[in-house]
């Protein structure tokens, strides 16, 4: 009897050992930890707004400009470049203050329309192996439905779990109809300015804290994490970068060429 009990305990321990990774994988919504500094364009935004702090993602498009979501605005934003574990004082990290915050003038905080913002840094980033830029698409360029792209961020990895380490996940670009026919998204989805991302049949998605990060397709920043359903299920909606390339380039050129810029009032995070 004692021998049978020992065998049963060993079997239960073995089952627990084999099943625990699978159970965790069911909770993960971003896939895996990134290889450190394999995405040198990634930016971590530490945001202060009304005596509370939050964070978003962003990405370096030129040495002195980061692109992110307009709903990531706040009273004060500090940009961290070259980070992998944001809670560690890594030698690769560069901490830069923001000189100007320029949300798109047409941003609507109720519908998340035109959800993008440029951040002009106080000083240009030093480009290194851990800090680099990512190219923007050509104006009007479309990403075909079925394309496999990737997104990374320091956001939640489940409904309750947080992380300080950069994670990444591969996501399918869905047809516009997938979001247009979704009862919770159809009211806000505009195909000309938004992208529908994430297969509803798969438990993979960007989530809270990933806002502002790039959707990368073939090495190009095609989308910006914007919004989705509160239950974290895909698909989720990304700002279509190619629809805003003229505004992005015009704004960066204007700030670089014409001296001081008077910041417009923007939405709060």
Kindly report the CATH number that applies to the domain delimited by 42-133+245-257. Answer: 2.40.10.10
Enumerate the β-bridge partners of residue 3: none
With 0-12 / 13-18 / 19 or more C-beta atoms within 10 angstroms meaning exposed / middle / buried, residue 179 is buried
User: Which residues contact residue 30 at a Cβ distance below 8 angstroms, ignoring those fewer than 6 apart?
Assistant: 151, 152, 153, 155, 157, 167, 168, 169, 204, 205, 206, 207, 210
Helix (H) or strand (E) holding 256: helix 245-257
Which residues belong to the active site? 71, 115, 211
Listed residue (255, 252, 198, 251) closest to 229, CA to CA: 198
What is the pLDDT confidence band of residue 260, given thresholds at 50, 70 and 90?
very low
> Tell me, what's the pLDDT at 118?
98
Interval 116-121 mean pLDDT = 98
**pLDDT-derived band at 258, boundaries 50, 70, 90:** low
For the segment 15-24, what is each residue's pLDDT rounded down to a tens digit? 333 333 222 2
Whole-number average pLDDT of the chain: 84
What is the model's pLDDT at position 160?
64
pLDDT digits (tens, 9 = 90+) for 145-158: 999 999 999 976 65
pLDDT at 22: 26
Quick one: pLDDT at residue 263?
A: 39
Does pLDDT of 77 surpass 70?
Answer: yes
Which residues make up the CATH 2.40.10.10 domain(s) of the chain? 42-133+245-257, 148-242
- Mean pLDDT across 171-195: 95
Q: Which range, 26-30, 45-49, 156-160, has the best average confidence (pLDDT)?
A: 45-49
Residue 5 has what pLDDT? 44
The model's pTM is 0.83
CATH topology of domain 148-242: Thrombin, subunit H (2.40.10)
pLDDT of 1 higher than 90: no
Burial class (CB in 10 A: 0-12, 13-18, 19+), 5: exposed
The residue among 177 and 263 whose pLDDT is bigger is: 177
For the segment 163-191, the average pLDDT, to the nearest whole number, is 93
Q: Which helix (H) or strand (E) holds 221?
A: strand 220-227
Nearest partner of 86 among 122, 127, 123, 33, judged by Cα: 33
How many other C-beta atoms can be found within 10 angstroms of the C-beta atom of residue 78? 14
Q: Is residue 168 over pLDDT 70? A: yes
Per-residue model confidence as pLDDT tens digits over 221-257: 999 999 988 777 899 999 999 999 999 999 999 998 7
């Amino acid at each position: 009897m004692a021998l049978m009990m020992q065998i049963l305990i060993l079997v239960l321990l073995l089952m627990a050992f084999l099943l625990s990774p699978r159970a965790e994988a069911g909770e993960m919504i971003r896939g895996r930890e990134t290889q450190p500094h394999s995405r040198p364009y990634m930016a971590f935004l530490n945001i202060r707004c009304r005596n509370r702090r939050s964070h978003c993602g962003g990405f370096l498009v030129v040495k002195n400009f980061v692109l992110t979501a307009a709903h990531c605005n706040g009273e004060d934003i500090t940009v961290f470049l070259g980070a992998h574990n944001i809670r560690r004082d890594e030698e690769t990290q560069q901490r830069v203050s923001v000189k100007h915050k320029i949300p798109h003038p047409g941003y609507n905080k109720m519908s998340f329309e035109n959800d993008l913002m440029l951040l002009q840094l106080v000083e240009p980033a030093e480009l290194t192996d851990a800090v680099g830029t990512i190219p923007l698409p050509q104006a009007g360029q479309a990403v075909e439905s079925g394309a496999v792209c990737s997104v990374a961020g320091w956001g939640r990895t489940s409904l309750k779990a947080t992380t300080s380490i950069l994670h990444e996940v591969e996501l399918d670009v869905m047809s516009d109809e997938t979001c247009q026919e979704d009862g919770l998204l159809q009211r806000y989805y505009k195909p000309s300015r938004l992208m529908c991302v994430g297969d509803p049949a798969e438990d993979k998605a960007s989530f809270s804290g990933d806002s502002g990060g790039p959707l990368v397709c073939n090495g190009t920043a095609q989308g910006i994490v914007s919004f989705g359903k509160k239950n974290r299920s895909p698909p989720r909606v990304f700002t279509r970068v190619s629809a805003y390339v003229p505004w992005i380039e015009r704004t960066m050129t204007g700030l670089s060429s014409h001296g001081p810029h008077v910041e417009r009032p923007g939405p709060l995070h």
